[in-house]
Amino acid sequence: MHLTTEVYEGMPADSLLRALTPDELENLLEYAHQRHVKKGKVLFEKGDPGDSMVLVLSGTLKASAWSVGDREVVFDYVGAGGIVGELAVLDGQPRAAQVAAVEDSEIIVIQRRFFLPFLECHWLVATKVIEALCQKIRQSSVLLEDNAGVAMGPKLARGLLRLAEEGVNGDCNKVNLRFPINQGDLANYVSLSRENVNRQLREWEDNGFVELGRGHIAILNSGALAEIGEPSA
């Protein structure tokens, strides 16, 4: 497959794709194929063979699993430039989570049998994959910390700010989350009930901290949310 200059330059600076030289990228994509994934499409289920990894060109993917009480737990949202499925590809074990598209997305699929030999010859790429894994471990640590007795307001504030890290800046310091998210999915991401999330967001909307729309949340006052999310002394 061929990756256009526009798509390549649109990737975040820390993306795996941007870490490659043009020749390295051409070599990698020789063994890859591009797919269009419609909103709601499940790419793989928890327990599936870990025979491929995915690079996101555009759109957003969600990694999640279900608790004993049949409640969805969202581990991460992965946008343009991000990697999904690299852990199973590296260790050859079954998938640890379900991955689905939360909006129409363009992805690159790379098979394990091609990617591992490629890594052996390209240590810079291996370093980027390790960095991505470390980031996910840190993210998991943050989620565990938030689930361990953190109050509702700080927990929701931290979750919103994490989702806003790659958001789109609008007018008057407004930050639009980079993908549409409903309050149910947000509740699953921060391990709160939908009712509590709705109640807290409405209060913050009245205070001018956030802007709510149909499947849309924008942050109007990041400083206020950061202060709410600070650990208690």
Query: How many other β-carbons are positioned within 10 Å of the β-carbon of residue 45?
Result: 13
How many domains does the chain fold into? Answer: 2
**The pLDDT value given to residue 94:** 93
| Same-domain status, 225 and 190 | yes
Taking a C-beta distance cutoff of 8 angstroms, is the pair 97, 75 a contact? Answer: yes
Domain end point (choices 116, 146, 176):
146
26-67 pLDDT, tens digit each: 888 888 999 999 999 999 999 999 999 899 999 999 999 887
Query: How many other β-carbons are positioned within 10 Å of the β-carbon of residue 156?
Result: 26
Beta bridge partners of 163: none
| Same-domain status, 73 and 20 | yes
- What would the two tokens of residue 165 be? 């890290």
| Same-domain status, 53 and 104 | yes
| Same-domain status, 54 and 134 | yes
Amino acid at 167: G
User: For residue 223, how many C-alpha atoms fall within 13 Å in the half-sphere facing its CB?
Assistant: 1
CA dihedral of 121, 127, 130, 131, whole degrees rounded to 10: -160
Taking a C-beta distance cutoff of 8 angstroms, is the pair 112, 52 a contact? Answer: yes
**The pLDDT value given to residue 233:** 47
Residues 2-13 have a mean pLDDT of 75
Q: Which string of DSSP letters, residue by residue, matches 72-120? A: EEEEEEE-TT-EESHHHHHH-PPPSSEEEESS-EEEEEEEHHHHHHHHH
How many angstroms separate the CA atoms of 190 and 40, rounded? 20
Domain end point (choices 87, 115, 146):
146
**Secondary structure (3-state) at 232:** coil
Domain end point (choices 111, 131, 146):
146
| Same-domain status, 113 and 60 | yes
CATH code of the domain covering residue 195:
1.10.10.10
CATH code of the domain covering residue 36:
2.60.120.10
**The pLDDT value given to residue 44:** 93
Q: How confident is the model at residue 123 (pLDDT cuts 50, 70, 90)?
A: confident
Burial grade of 17 (CB within 10 A; 0-12, 13-18, 19 or more): buried
| Global pTM value | 0.82
| Same-domain status, 15 and 115 | yes
How many angstroms separate the CA atoms of 209 and 115, rounded? 44
81-111 pLDDT, tens digit each: 888 888 888 888 999 899 999 999 999 999 9
Domain span at residue 119 reads 5-146
| Same-domain status, 140 and 171 | no
| Same-domain status, 199 and 98 | no
Q: What are phi and psi of 39, to 5 degrees?
A: -55, 130
| DSSP H or E run through 186 | helix 183-190
| Same-domain status, 52 and 90 | yes
